Structure 1
């Protein structure tokens, strides 16, 4: 999970990158934070997609009336 502080830092580094530029250390930090953010978003999306149930499946397995 990505914290609010990490998201804030990602945005700070992005803004600084567009302005004065980043040091090599900051570039490495930015890449690490971006990778963590992307991985967290992928995991969240996968969890959402894995929890989808199709209506047809629910009707087939539901109570018989």
Structure 2
């Protein structure tokens, strides 16, 4: 998870870029922060998917086999 300070800085740089433009150093910082943010987002999303169980309207577990295998490997599924 990205810290609140880094999220605040991302927003500050985006606003500055829109209003007046960024220096080379600020553009480099913005790029690096965005990369960190995307990596954090992808990791969180992956963890959420790996802990998901899909149930159909009749109550049957229809979780895809590929996901079941990942969950078994990570010991999040019986």
How many residues were matched structurally? 57
Cα drift, residue 54 of structure 1: 3.1
User: Equivalent residues in 2 for 1:8-23 (5 A)?
Assistant: 8-23=8-23
Cα drift, residue 53 of structure 1: 1.9
Structure number, greater radius of gyration: 1
- TM-score by length of structure 1 reads 0.81
Q: Distance in 2 between matches of 1:52 and 1:20?
A: 44
The answer to whether 1:54 aligns with 2:54 is yes
Tell which has more relative contact order, 1 or 2 (C-alpha 8 A, sep 6+): 1
CA distances 1:3-57 after superposition (whole Å, capped 9, x unpaired): 0000000000000001110000000000000010011010000000000123326
The answer to whether 1:32 aligns with 2:26 is no
Specify every segment of 5 or more residues in structure 2 that has no aligned partner in the other structure, as ranges: 56-60, 63-78
User: Aligned-pair RMSD on alpha carbons?
Assistant: 1.1
Identify, as 1 or 2, the structure richer in helix: 1
